Chains A and B, each alone.
Chain A
């Protein structure tokens, strides 16, 4: 900075080194190394040999593998769709209600509704498993109470409903995140703009649709991409409720559980680090594609709107 600072700036190195070293060793380089490992195969002795795209060819074109992979991919897309259709609109609704001026108890509501988001997915999964199990009957009992008892079914165990049910549980847990981010964005909407609109007699609905919503679009974009990354990387809920096999009959299998099984193996199949690395690489490409298109299409356009 100053002229006297000609000597090597050791202090910068000392300040940066710990963070950069740990981050590189346990995050960035393992990620790169995983991308590399996807091109190798290992024999029983654990010796790696280069096989080019063979692993990817197996995953995408071998009949058993590709069926499992595309099943997991499709389920993951559904899982994401459930979050986009329910979690984020509900989060938006709740945040809009909290941010109403002078609402009593707003902080209490906010605090209470955010709570499930903080709990481990493992705990959440088991709680819902207990509630929805026909054995304990809390869910069935409650539904009977309101006259819907006949509609109760072991949703988590049926092929047709298991994924949707797990998606709803996940929505229930994580709705706090979009809620809080949107709430923060709504707080940042300039007071004068809203007051001017009120003064001119605009209805609350019109103010929401024509002023608040356009102004918080960047946050909705951020919520979308965060949901995308979280969903395409999800694992814990499915694993703790349905195990590594993502039953019934793989109907709840998503990329995270597929990756785990490929890497560690299960029942008849032996796990393979290199095949696992290939699956992780495919997940990486999916996430990268999502993040890149968010920055390219959404972020760029939004900054233009802001001006």
Chain B
């Protein structure tokens, strides 16, 4: 689409375009210089950690900027971290917490989004506003009472507590994005189903839910990342060794082993890798979500 419109504009104004092209090319080079420079600044620290995590201790100190060679290559840091610590357990915890809250956010968020956008009932707009408040007001401010609640429910040091808190945190944005998306589904689809006597629940689960898959992917990315990266609630609600998440684990691990550079760098790399993988899988969805106005 862009190419067609740019072609037609080029044809319409061919004379000035040709004259400008030289300057435009020069300008383009500067654009690339600036963007390349910034990309290096953005990636250098991460690359530095990952490169050094697979080097021997001496090489880390002697020449931190060099790539590993066969002589300096070493996985001792990863071995130590994986064998001597509970890192794999922390990974499991993060996975359970993130995926658990993700499922609840998507399911309950879509159900609420459907109810708010499909049915007219008294208090509809008020309910939508009530749920939307959570987008702007950080859940962290309620921590004192959340902790008391979690203690009184006997959920302290459980992954359930984290799942419930992240679900509450993610729902407002999910409801907003999903109800916006559901509104765009053609009325005829639902009406036809209703004429055939299909129940409301069946309509939602069998017609609507499959239709809003792209929006669900967007919501998934937006809710997974904060949950995976959060430090505050694991620190407060589930700091025990059995329930620690990776983020909290790394935070405390590095504090303890700060002199063991191989292990520290390996731990940092291990904590980065899942997000890198997630990013590679979801980056298109993430960018589509952002550029389609999902967060306006």
Contacts of A104 in B (CB 8 A): 32
Are B12 and A181 within 8 A (Cβ)?
no
The answer for the CA separation of A26 and B152 in the assembled complex, in Å, is 13
Please tell me which one of the listed residues A119, A127, A138 contacts residue B229 in the complex, with CB atoms under 8 A apart: A119
Determine whether A180 belongs to the interface, using a CB cutoff of 8 Å to chain B: yes
The smallest C-beta distance from A191 to any residue of chain B, in angstroms, reads 6
Contacts of A74 in B (CB 8 A): none
Are B279 and A118 within 8 A (Cβ)?
yes
Q: Name the segment of A13-21, A56-64, A153-161 touching the other chain.
A: A13-21
Bits for A210-224, please: 1 = Cβ < 8 Å to B, else 0. 000000000100100
Contacts of A101 in B (CB 8 A): 2, 6
Which residues between 82 and 133 of chain B lie within 8 Å of chain A, taking CB atoms?
104, 107-109, 111-112, 114-116, 119-121, 127, 130-131, 133
The answer for the CA separation of A288 and B175 in the assembled complex, in Å, is 22
Are A28 and B268 within 8 A (Cβ)?
no
- Mostly helix, strand, loop or mixed at chain B's interface? helix
Please tell me which one of the listed residues B5, B6, B35 contacts residue A94 in the complex, with CB atoms under 8 A apart: B35
Number of contacting residues on A, CB 8 A? 96
Are B250 and A229 within 8 A (Cβ)?
no
Determine whether B78 belongs to the interface, using a CB cutoff of 8 Å to chain A: no
The answer for the CA separation of A34 and B140 in the assembled complex, in Å, is 11
Size range of the chain B interface in the assembly:
35 or more
Bits for A53-94, please: 1 = Cβ < 8 Å to B, else 0. 000000000000000000000000000000000000010011
Residue of B nearest to A2 (CB): B194
The answer for the CA separation of A22 and B105 in the assembled complex, in Å, is 10
Determine whether A112 belongs to the interface, using a CB cutoff of 8 Å to chain B: yes
Please tell me which one of the listed residues A103, A121, A128, A130 contacts residue B231 in the complex, with CB atoms under 8 A apart: A121
Are B134 and A28 within 8 A (Cβ)?
yes
Are A122 and B145 within 8 A (Cβ)?
no
Are B109 and A19 within 8 A (Cβ)?
yes
Determine whether B138 belongs to the interface, using a CB cutoff of 8 Å to chain A: yes
Are A141 and B231 within 8 A (Cβ)?
no
The answer for the CA separation of A94 and B171 in the assembled complex, in Å, is 31
Are A103 and B28 within 8 A (Cβ)?
yes
Are B13 and A115 within 8 A (Cβ)?
no
Please tell me which one of the listed residues A34, A115, A136 contacts residue B42 in the complex, with CB atoms under 8 A apart: A115
Are B28 and A23 within 8 A (Cβ)?
no
Given that A273-B144, A283-B141 are contacting pairs, would A25 and B134 also be in contact in the complex, using a CB cutoff of 8 Å?
no
Are A19 and B175 within 8 A (Cβ)?
yes
Given that A16-B111, A23-B172, A240-B251 are contacting pairs, would A113 and B133 also be in contact in the complex, using a CB cutoff of 8 Å?
no
Determine whether A247 belongs to the interface, using a CB cutoff of 8 Å to chain B: no
Are A123 and B250 within 8 A (Cβ)?
yes
Bits for B47-83, please: 1 = Cβ < 8 Å to A, else 0. 0110000000000010011000000000000000000
Given that A26-B139, A34-B144, A34-B145 are contacting pairs, would A127 and B169 also be in contact in the complex, using a CB cutoff of 8 Å?
no
The answer for the CA separation of A111 and B119 in the assembled complex, in Å, is 39
Seen from chain B, the residues whose Cβ lies within 8 Å of a Cβ on chain A are: 2, 5-6, 9, 12-13, 16, 27-28, 31-32, 34-36, 38-39, 41-43, 45-46, 48-49, 61, 64-65, 104, 107-109, 111-112, 114-116, 119-121, 127, 130-131, 133-134, 136-149, 164-165, 167-169, 171-172, 175, 199-201, 204, 225, 228-229, 231-232, 236, 247, 250-251, 254, 264, 268, 271-272, 275-276, 278-279, 283, 287, 290-293, 295-296
10 contacts between A and B (CB under 8 A): A11-B200, A19-B171, A102-B2, A103-B28, A121-B231, A123-B271, A127-B48, A172-B41, A233-B138, A287-B141
Complex A-B, nearest 4 residue pairs according to Cβ-Cβ distance, in ascending order: A30-B142, A26-B168, A19-B112, A30-B145
